[in-house]
Amino acid sequence: MSRGLPCRASVLTGLIATDRTQNAMSTIRALQLIADRQVALSEPDAPPPPAADEVQLRVHTVGLNHIDVWGFRGMAFAKRLYPLTVGAESACEVVATGANVTALAPGDRVVPYSALTCGTCRACRRGMDNLCENVAGVRGFHVSGFAQDLTNHPARLCVKIPQSVDWHDAACVAVAYGTVEHMLFDNARLEPGEWLLVHAGGSGIGSIAIRIAKSIGCTVITTVGSAEKAEKARALGADHVINYREERFEGVVRKLTGKKGVDVVFEHTGADTWAGSLLSMKRGGRLVTCGATSGPIGNLNLMQLFQQQYRITGSFGAPMSALARGLDRIASGVRPVIDTVYTLADFRAGIDRLESRDVFGKILIDL
């Protein structure tokens, strides 16, 4: 099935020439899930020229996220058909535009929004894209994703990349920066000067949350699982770093905050940290969560919830506006921590590395 790794330049030159002449189909490279936990480099047909209101994108870099690990595990609730091209997060170049597309032109660099929203429902019209009532799926999860040389995408679901932002940094925006912006600001309403607890400071979103919160003048406490990661988290700017394997983090948080607790908890680890996260908040504190990497079930003491006047918010994805803010944040110098960049041929190592949690920052795949 695989023809190995063709020279990218020649393949793309061939494809672009094909597109221009709208001639016979060629093939592209695509990273496809062919069964649960089985990913293969395939060569499907190149996409047709973009339809009206669509653009054709040449994918430069794909960012890996936990949504990809769920995808590889074959989540029971995800309805989809194999083969499925993976990759929810990417940075791309526009190579062709369909009819009616005026806001984008070939050569523009964009971050495509991963969810295929309707654009017309009440939520979409109000800019709450991740609450779309008629979403057709998330690319790379329910429907074909971005880990392929070329793909067509609705033009309205593309966010332009500022000139000063490079491909690798831009490939951390559609999921990671978007998620963090939405969690910290739209949901938790984090303000300068507040105390924030960030779990798993070495993770893709954890490391970004630390940098963003520090850039607006917050005091950041973070948890990590090793001495090596503790050092890196401090270098990122975290004010206090707790090795959760050595100390109960909630006890340390209460000590650091004079028994008051933090204003905001950034949760995504779930079962292992849930109870401690609730105990780490001050009265009226806000907890925002977007994940459950250690398990999905946590207890909630309702007396504690109402007496302490906690606000707990679930957060999934982000509106397009959060992607634009994330790109501006990078342009202003709040850049992502990039752990490793793999080639398409080495994607398996990237997934293994993400799953092993032996990672500090984002894992990317260059096409």
Q: Which residues bind Zn ion (CB under 5 A)?
A: 117-118, 121, 124, 132
Distance, first Cα to last Cα, the chain: 19
Beta carbon nearer to Zn ion, 64 or 132: 132
Beta carbon nearer to Zn ion, 323 or 354: 323
Least gap, CB of 65 to Zn ion (angstroms): 23
Is the preceding omega at residue 319 within 30 degrees of 0, hence cis? no
Query: Residue 8 contacts by C-beta under 8 Å, 6 or more apart in sequence?
Result: 149, 367
Beta carbon nearer to Zn ion, 12 or 118: 118
CB of 342 closer than 8 Å to CB of 63 = no
How far is Cα 319 from Cα 189, in angstroms, rounded to an integer? Answer: 15
Query: Residue 315 contacts by C-beta under 8 Å, 6 or more apart in sequence?
Result: 179, 182, 183, 187, 288, 289, 290
Least gap, CB of 133 to Zn ion (angstroms): 5
Least gap, CB of 120 to Zn ion (angstroms): 6
Least gap, CB of 129 to Zn ion (angstroms): 7
Beta carbon nearer to Zn ion, 174 or 288: 174
Beta carbon nearer to Zn ion, 132 or 241: 132
Least gap, CB of 174 to Zn ion (angstroms): 18
Phi, psi dihedral angles at 295 (to 5 degrees): 140, 150
Beta-ladder partners of 63: 89, 364
CB of 339 closer than 8 Å to CB of 349 = no
Beta carbon nearer to Zn ion, 54 or 149: 54
Closest listed residue to residue 262, CA positions, set 292, 248, 282, 276: 282
Concatenating the DSSP letter of every residue in 323-361 gives: HHHHHHHHHTT-PPPEEEEEEGGGHHHHHHHHHHT--SS
What's the chain's length in residues?
A: 367
Least gap, CB of 136 to Zn ion (angstroms): 10
Beta-ladder partners of 267: 289
Query: Residue 322 contacts by C-beta under 8 Å, 6 or more apart in sequence?
Result: 177, 178, 179, 181, 182, 185, 186
Least gap, CB of 319 to Zn ion (angstroms): 11
Least gap, CB of 135 to Zn ion (angstroms): 7
Helix (H, G, I), strand (E, B) or coil at 109: strand
Beta carbon nearer to Zn ion, 101 or 132: 132
The identity of residue 201, as a single letter, is G
Beta carbon nearer to Zn ion, 117 or 289: 117
Beta carbon nearer to Zn ion, 52 or 136: 136
Least gap, CB of 117 to Zn ion (angstroms): 5
How far is Cα 101 from Cα 153, in angstroms, rounded to an integer? Answer: 12
